[in-house]
A and B are shown apart, each in its own frame.
Chain A
Amino acid sequence: MAVSRTRNIGLPLISLLRLNGMPILEQLHLEERLLRSTSENWCLINNGTTDPTIVMGVSGKPVELLDTESVLRDEISVIRRYTGGGTVIVDHATIFVTFICNKDAISGLQSYPQPIMCWSSLLYKEVFQGIGDFTLRENDYVLGNRKFGGNAQSITKNRWVHHTSFLWDYEISRMGYLKLPKRAPQYRQARDHLEFICRMKDYIARSDFIDRTISAVGSHFQLRYSEPKAIQWPRGTKFEPSSRLLRKEELDEAICKSSAVSALLSL
């Protein structure tokens, strides 16, 4: 979609990667590699992922966050990602948008969680202009008072990444794999999960959301379209991604440990 509007001098360059159905683990590996091995600014948009997958934050503990028995029974993959934040379950109806930027890419923006969150909300405000009552509420993207996008970040010495999984649509049964987290935002007000979230498809067409996001990115950056095959990785650097799939034994172990603790306490 062509964007024609006045540009200010000094807009930073960003490379846009438009992906379709890339497996979420592959996306996380790509993101982390772009964060740590390149010095360009990137925007990734992944339109859905393949199989339903649970993605936990970097220090997420399965036994606290998941109904591990049903996760194991139904053989749902669980990933521990390289960024902080909470737990989500993603599938073909999730849209991912990621920004990877240099610390000084955006004039005046300090690379701390809150300023980055605020900046991102300005961008998404443009996306939802005239569509819905979009706001940033305690680090969540909400329409009205219902969450439709969860965010996480990683801030390194010279760069930062801010990524979001947007609930285009979701299956109610899958939400059952996630437990109520220990720390919930105040605005949730003890609502049940399904009363707390909403579907983006009730507000905007899928392709419209992606187009409007690209357009909004284009008003903050000079866009350059790229593709994963065209990325020039620096030579001679070995990269080990941090995001990984948890093994069954790790989820099993979580069950064993928690049962053992319960057994001890009952003695």
Chain B
Amino acid sequence: MADLPVGGVIDVPLAQTGEGIAECELLKWFVQEGEEVEEFQPLCEVQSDKATIEITSRYKGKVSKVLHVPGNIVKVGEALLRMVIDENASILPSVEAAQDLVAQDSKINELDIADSVLKKEKIRGVLSTPAVRNFAKQLGVTIEDVLGTGHDGRILREDILNYAARKGILKASSEILIEDSSAKNFLGDQTSPNVSSAYVWEFEDRSLPLRGFHRAMAKSMTLAAKIPHFQYVEEVNCDALLDLRASFQNEMSDLGIKFTFLPLLVKSLSMALSKYPLLNSCFNEESQEVLLKGSHNIGIAMATAHGLVVPNIKKVQSLSIVEITKELSRLQELALSNKLSSDDVSGGTITISNIGSIGGKFGSPLVNVPEVSIIALGRIQKIPLFDEDGNLCPASIMMINISSDHRVLDGATVARFCNEWKRFIEKPELLMLQMR
């Protein structure tokens, strides 16, 4: 590509779209003559064989002349428009290189399918990834001077290191190397080398792009933040729950299952939801409709090494406590090994977050869209309480916070629901009256 004449007029050509075809049809313009244009701003839309493609500007400048009208067939390499380039405009090598690369890729055969999908950049005859190019820049190495030892002569990180060591650049830049490699390890980059280094203080910021569960969490929490939440906090006496769990553990030890509180809480939650189905619903903003869900698919928020994930136990109303315990255990194992299926994590109708298992008195969670309610359980704490006769006695108290969508639920409904659930937790024998 030609050098950039600062302040001058250049022809902006139609670049190769990667299909090996020689021309495209111009469909429409997004800009007009005299208009100021930013880098990456869409200029026009063209149609190649199979695709309509938005062509974006590589430069910041002003459109001086549009050279084609919609309907024209424009040959690849032919100028689409003329632009006056800003003084401060700079060409972006990645964009240009990507287009050059795409021209190469148009000749791939089926065996090279996987290869063509890999992100490579070719600048002036040099093959390397953007990460390696940045690394070379950090070390002050001219990448074109480096001999590549990778596939097809690709320049690898090790090649940069070896070159820098030979040229004596490496010693002076050891601090940068250390930070760079540690940052790459953090981001899971597979190409970080095993560089031994002296201990240095690290004051530099590190960028952490969001991936996987973390990225999904960011997206769903952004949605949840738009919902008007209200919090309802209650204390629940868990003495009976603790006794029941101990009894299960003693009497049912031959089942080989570890009994925890959660299945009991889940089952009693389902019983309370049967009486207050509005908490087991989802809200459609567009149609202003509340959909009362038929199944109690109770989600359990789990913190794993890969991030926050919420699998749910389906149709709790039809499951026994033993079945819930087994299903919970199955989901926990899958979550820890990052093997949950899409079915496991979709279709939830209400969520429990047992944040107390890590710590904290109570939480203020955000609703798991499109559900309308989420329950945070605090840690069970032994505190002194006055009994009916005015005597001090210990009690195991758990704080719960029910966070709800105020467009669907009001305080009174949530309070009544919570009272019902609390009754089942504090007097679990009442569950027997309702169980089918």
Interface 1/0 per residue, B11-27 and A, CB below 8 Å:
00000011100000101
For A218, list chain B residues within 8 Å (CB).
341-342
Main secondary structure of the interface of A (DSSP, over half): loop
Confirm or deny: B346 has a beta carbon within 8 angstroms of a beta carbon on chain A. yes
In chain B, residues 344-369, which have Cβ atoms closer than 8 Å to a Cβ of chain A?
344-347
The interface stretch among B78-86, B107-115, B135-143, B144-152 is B107-115
Confirm or deny: B274 has a beta carbon within 8 angstroms of a beta carbon on chain A. no
CB < 8 Å: which of A58, A109, A114, A156 contacts B47?
A58
| Pair B343/A6 contact, Cβ less than 8 Å | no
For B211, list chain A residues within 8 Å (CB).
9-10
| Pair A108/B346 contact, Cβ less than 8 Å | no
| Complex alpha-carbon distance, A9 and B105, angstroms | 28
The residue in chain A whose Cβ has the minimal distance to the Cβ of B306 is A9
Confirm or deny: B419 has a beta carbon within 8 angstroms of a beta carbon on chain A. no
| Pair B117/A58 contact, Cβ less than 8 Å | no
Which of the four size classes fits the interface of chain A? 35 or more
| Pair B188/A3 contact, Cβ less than 8 Å | no
| Complex alpha-carbon distance, A6 and B71, angstroms | 49
Minimum distance in angstroms from A157 CB to a CB of chain B: 5
CB < 8 Å: which of A57, A86, A119, A225 contacts B342?
A225
| Pair B18/A113 contact, Cβ less than 8 Å | yes
In chain B, residues 8-60, which have Cβ atoms closer than 8 Å to a Cβ of chain A?
17-19, 25, 27, 40, 42, 47-54, 56
Confirm or deny: A259 has a beta carbon within 8 angstroms of a beta carbon on chain B. no
Minimum distance in angstroms from A166 CB to a CB of chain B: 16
Confirm or deny: A151 has a beta carbon within 8 angstroms of a beta carbon on chain B. yes
Confirm or deny: B396 has a beta carbon within 8 angstroms of a beta carbon on chain A. no
Confirm or deny: B388 has a beta carbon within 8 angstroms of a beta carbon on chain A. no
Interface 1/0 per residue, A132-166 and B, CB below 8 Å:
00011001000000000001111111000000000
The interface stretch among B259-267, B283-291, B377-385, B399-407 is B283-291
For A136, list chain B residues within 8 Å (CB).
110, 113
Interface 1/0 per residue, B272-310 and A, CB below 8 Å:
000000000010111101000000000000000010000
For A85, list chain B residues within 8 Å (CB).
49-51
For B213, list chain A residues within 8 Å (CB).
222
| Pair B212/A152 contact, Cβ less than 8 Å | no
The interface stretch among B157-165, B215-223, B241-249, B408-416 is B215-223
| Complex alpha-carbon distance, A108 and B101, angstroms | 13
| Pair A10/B212 contact, Cβ less than 8 Å | yes
| Pair A110/B339 contact, Cβ less than 8 Å | no
| Pair A118/B48 contact, Cβ less than 8 Å | no
For A153, list chain B residues within 8 Å (CB).
50-52
CB < 8 Å: which of A9, A135, A155, A233 contacts B51?
A155
Minimum distance in angstroms from A100 CB to a CB of chain B: 14
| Pair B343/A3 contact, Cβ less than 8 Å | yes
Confirm or deny: B338 has a beta carbon within 8 angstroms of a beta carbon on chain A. yes
| Pair B18/A115 contact, Cβ less than 8 Å | yes
| Pair A154/B52 contact, Cβ less than 8 Å | yes
For A113, list chain B residues within 8 Å (CB).
17-19, 48-51, 53
| Pair B284/A121 contact, Cβ less than 8 Å | no
| Pair B347/A225 contact, Cβ less than 8 Å | yes
Confirm or deny: A28 has a beta carbon within 8 angstroms of a beta carbon on chain B. no
Interface 1/0 per residue, B184-213 and A, CB below 8 Å:
000010000000000000000000000111
Minimum distance in angstroms from A102 CB to a CB of chain B: 11
| Complex alpha-carbon distance, A112 and B238, angstroms | 59
| Pair B52/A84 contact, Cβ less than 8 Å | yes
Interface 1/0 per residue, A236-248 and B, CB below 8 Å:
0000000000000
Minimum distance in angstroms from A138 CB to a CB of chain B: 9
- Knowing that A10-B211, A151-B50, A157-B40 are A-B contacts, what are 14 other residue pairs whose CB atoms are under 8 Å apart, sorted by A's residue number? A3-B342, A6-B338, A7-B340, A9-B306, A58-B52, A113-B50, A117-B50, A152-B51, A155-B54, A183-B49, A223-B342, A229-B284, A231-B286, A232-B223
Q: A-side interface residues toward B, CB under 8 Å?
A: 1-7, 9-13, 40, 57-59, 82-86, 108-110, 112-115, 117-119, 121-122, 135-136, 139, 151-157, 183, 218, 222-225, 229-233
16 contacts between A and B (CB under 8 A): A1-B343, A9-B211, A10-B215, A59-B27, A59-B71, A83-B51, A84-B48, A108-B117, A109-B117, A113-B19, A114-B106, A139-B50, A153-B50, A157-B42, A229-B284, A230-B284
